[in-house]
Amino acid sequence: MNGARARSVAYQIAAVAALSGCPALAVADATPSFEPEAICRTALASIMDRDPKLVRVTRDAGDVLFLSYVRPIDNFVWDYRCKIQGNRVVWASEPGRWREDPKDDKVFFEIVEGGKQLRIIVEDHGDGSATNELFERDQIQ
């Protein structure tokens, strides 16, 4: 999804939320948005415990982004795929299966502080716990 299309979708969601009387959703989605590329990079970095600036988008195939991470210690390249479904981030190793099975961890994102921060939430259904990591915009860009 290109940046203009992503912003358009975000504004449409905000408009529908505002018109339907859901102010919390309207406020959250009407804030300055992060690009899908930044959301996917940050989510994968959070899952893999890496710096988001080290994860790169290598290809945009419509709704699916291809990403890679080069491990500094040995230059091994890790490849991933990512797609955004609402406020959920679904990912896969490349090659590999999409992590959307009911037993897989669920990854969500939330734009907070008026668009200054991106929160990545990982729900672990194995033990019911959840982690949430907050990233400042300058940590991602």
pLDDT tens digits, 49-107: 999 999 999 999 999 999 999 999 999 999 999 999 999 999 999 999 999 998 899 99
Determine the Cα–Cα distance for residues 76 and 132; give it in Å rounded to an integer. Answer: 27
Same domain, 72 and 120: yes
**Shared domain check, 53 and 113:** yes
Element (H, E) at 26: helix 23-30
DSSP SS3 for 42? helix
pTM for the full predicted model: 0.75
Per-residue pLDDT, 125: 65
Cα angle at 88 between 78 and 107, to 5 degrees? 55
Percent of the chain having pLDDT more than 90?
62
Q: What is the pLDDT of residue 16?
A: 40
Residue 61 belongs to what domain range? Answer: 37-140
Residues 6+ apart with CB under 8 A from 111: 28, 29, 31, 32, 33, 34, 117, 118, 119
Q: Decide if pLDDT at 111 tops 70.
A: yes
Look at the chain and report how many structural domains it folds into.
2
Same domain, 58 and 115: yes
Computed over every residue of the chain, the mean pLDDT equals 82
Contact 105, 125 (CB under 8 A): yes
Residues 69 and 2 in one domain: no
